[in-house]
Amino acid sequence: MQDNFGHYATNQDAVLEKIQHLAIETPSWGYGNSGTRFKVFPWPGAARTLREKLDDAAQVQRATGVCPSVAIHIPWDKEDDWQAIKAYAQAQGLRIGAVNPNLFQEDVYRFGSLCHFDTSIRKHAIEHVIECIRIAQAVDSQIISLWLADGTNYPGQDDLRQRRHRLLDSLQSIYAALPAGMRLLIEYKFFEPAFYSTDLPDWGTALLMAQKLGPQAEVLVDTGHHAQGTNVAQIISQLLDEGRLGGFHFNDRRYADDDLIVGSQNPFDLFCMFNEIVGAGSEGNANVERIAYMIDQSHNIEAKIEAMIQSVLNIQIAYTKALLVDRPALRAAQEQGDVLGAYRVLQAAYETDVRPLLAEFRTRQGLDPDPIAAFRSSGYAERVAHERVASALSSGYPGA
């Protein structure tokens, strides 16, 4: 191993062992057609059904070896026979991961869901989340991933404190329905689709709700859900210290919630996030072991499967670089007040080209060292584009 791998120069196997334990969940919705408020550009062969999404996710798993689970979104992925879906996923070498309730697309949610002023609408929203809990039980998932679009657009539109009380009351009803071992991950977003107030606008609000609910409630960090300049690494360090970092929805942003490929815009920030996680893990932080690493991206003009593979590679790169940080040297520089010395420790790890190490990791796993090239050469994208278009034409499917 080259000298620029720092204190891991003689311990390549230790790094490879840690890389092996990083599992990344891909989202079913990332394999279907998606778009902006202005236009959805259909992608040839984009998945239309949950089974097709699982077929595509299996290609990402075969290429990378680190994506064994697929998150689902209800009702987008609703099925009548969940045991059949569970068996289908297993046949593809996959399992169903986090279940995501949809509390933003029904007409009744115009003024909110769990925070709505109408008791009947709040009840409707609660029942939907409980339905998702039952689905999670049926497919052996341990995570409910909850994001709310609830908020207001104008001052005075609603009583903000009353909305908070309604939210807590609704979440308590949901939390009471959680079986032992299942986690409720509470996601936050500082704006959109509401613009004056958002009911879960930041990590602090999400954390307060989780703490009020109990130990099965944790915070989900979507890396694109922050204001410009927010130090997400610091948020991660706070949540780790409180033992409430439930997981991630990985994506990247240039302006707001852009849902771009993770690591494509701010790769150093992604590295700094993993640096906090690896650092906490080296100190025995128990929270690190239960973090759910999930992708949540909207691939609007990119090839769906290839974009997902690229996302996985970028996450692996950032994580591996964080593993190369010389922790004793970093701590020594920090304790001596050596500002630039500490920064250079991080810089040395970040500027290390870890692609050869990851290629070695894949080779040891019996995989092609270049997952993108392997997928392209498989011919899968061309085949399903032909098969799915032909199937849609023969059935009159409107998405053809």
DSSP string, 25-56: BEEGGGGS--B-SS-B---TT---SHHHHHHH
Q: What is the pLDDT of residues 76-132, one digit of tens each?
A: 999 999 999 999 999 999 999 999 999 999 999 999 999 999 999 999 999 999 999
Residue spans of the chain under pLDDT 70: 1-10, 392-400
- Cα 175 to Cα 103, 133, 183, 192, 206, distances in angstroms: 16, 10, 9, 25, 14
pTM of the entire structure?
A: 0.94
Q: What is the pLDDT of residue 381?
A: 96
- Alpha carbon 271 to its chain's center: 16
- Alpha carbon 319 to its chain's center: 15
Short-list 288, 300, 210, 313, CA closest to 258: 300
| Residue 317 near residue 354 (C-beta atoms within 8 A) | yes
Q: What is the pLDDT of residue 360?
A: 95
Q: What is the pLDDT of residue 7?
A: 53
Residue owning tokens 């991961």: 97
Q: What is the pLDDT of residue 399?
A: 44
Measured over the CA atoms of residue 94, residue 20, residue 27 and residue 286, the dihedral's sign is: positive
* φ/ψ (deg, to 5) at 249: -110, 105
Q: What is the pLDDT of residue 1?
A: 39
Q: What is the pLDDT of residue 372?
A: 98
Q: What is the pLDDT of residue 38?
A: 87
CA 183 to CA 285: how far, in whole Å? 19
CA 144 to CA 297: how far, in whole Å? 18
The radius of gyration of the chain's CA atoms, rounded to the nearest angstrom, is 22
Q: What is the pLDDT of residues 19-50, one digit of tens each?
A: 999 999 999 999 999 888 789 999 999 999 99
Q: What is the pLDDT of residue 397?
A: 44
Residue owning tokens 């707001």: 256
Q: What is the pLDDT of residue 13?
A: 85
CATH number listed for the domain at residues 22-325: 3.20.20.150
202: left (phi over 0), alpha (psi -120 to 50) or beta: beta
Short-list 48, 59, 33, 50, CA closest to 306: 59
| Residue 200 near residue 150 (C-beta atoms within 8 A) | yes
By DSSP bridging, strand 245-250 and strand 217-222 are: parallel
CA 56 to CA 75: how far, in whole Å? 20
